[in-house]
Structure 1
Amino acid sequence: MEKFTKLSATAAPMPLVNIDTDMIIPKVFLKTIKRSGLGVNLFDEMRYDRQGNEIEDFVLNQPQYRDAQILVAGDNFGCGSSREHAPWALLDFGIRCVISTSFADIFYNNCFKNGILPIVVTPEEHAKLMDDAERGANAVISVDLEGQTITGPDGGQISFEVDAHKKHCLLNGLDDIGLTMEKAASIDSFEATAAQSRPWV
């Protein structure tokens, strides 16, 4: 998993509330178990019309937001079914950070396991960041995970909270497998001892 330390990137505004995982990646695209290739269908039903043409006024289709890596989203982002494909699609598109006032719990935890930093802010802070994001090409926001700060394009700074363990995992690029592999020496030692004491197993 790619480490997350600092990120300075364009932030796209998506003020809709209750964006669920089926809106993030519709169920028709859940046939794969690969983490790559889903970005093209991120927000598919909002990005494309029935003929497959881009809807021009959808935020991520607008030239100034096509390379956005930060999403400033409405309340309760990631609600609905617990599909891990949702953070996969965001990451494959290029989104590394989602900022909102609240997240669905399972989606929130899945983000950390896939290299995406979800940040919870107050409604007042959210309104300021949404205003920053609506500046288009000038909507560059900087996120510092180590310092736990968000810096807006005008230099204003916001502090955010994050669980210490989840922070450690993101800073070091550790998913569940990576965490297990950190204990590889202890696992090998245990297996060697077990093999000697119980050779019949």
Structure 2
Amino acid sequence: MKLYYTPGACSLVPHIVLCELGLPYELEKVDLNSHTIEGGGDYYNVNPKGYVPTLQLNDGQRLTESGAIALFLAEKLPEAGLLPTSGSLERFRVQEWLFFIGSELHKGIGQLFNPQLTPEWKKAALAGIEKRLAYVDKVLTGQDYLNGARFSVADAYLFTVLSWTKPLDIDLSRWPALRAFHDRVAARPAVQKAMQAEGLL
């Protein structure tokens, strides 16, 4: 398999999952400003959407979207426990978190990187983001991960999005459980491996 990624972007989610599972993969770095692949090539020919991640399978098929790729990978090695049993309520809880993170946190925090964002719009966006971060902080109070004691693909997604708060000067210390969660996940060997490979450490 081959993962097309940009350092620190949402492609870090499937990268972490690949490392957690110990599956073999190759990396292809993408410059999202020029939409070119390191070493040459137009990234739009790989993914017409123009953004990362893209996972190219061994048979040449491609899969996009962080959450979908993470679910696909977790299914390949169910014994690793990154995704609860199919049909269980716990499984749908993980999916519930993936949808929430994708729609409420990823898009919310991600928009703050837009240099054309007006101060008024940024203030309004931050108010919504802070409300959602406070909600997740409350959920994480007294537990290690989103669904309790076990790390899942949803935690990889939350960690990645929370990592964007630092360059945006959003202080996570206001939410102690979130800050502790971020530090806890950052210390996982698979997360360290993925971040090291992307030049983030």
Using the size of structure 1 for normalisation, the TM-score is 0.26
Q: Which has the larger radius of gyration?
A: 1
Using the size of structure 2 for normalisation, the TM-score is 0.26
Higher helix share: 2
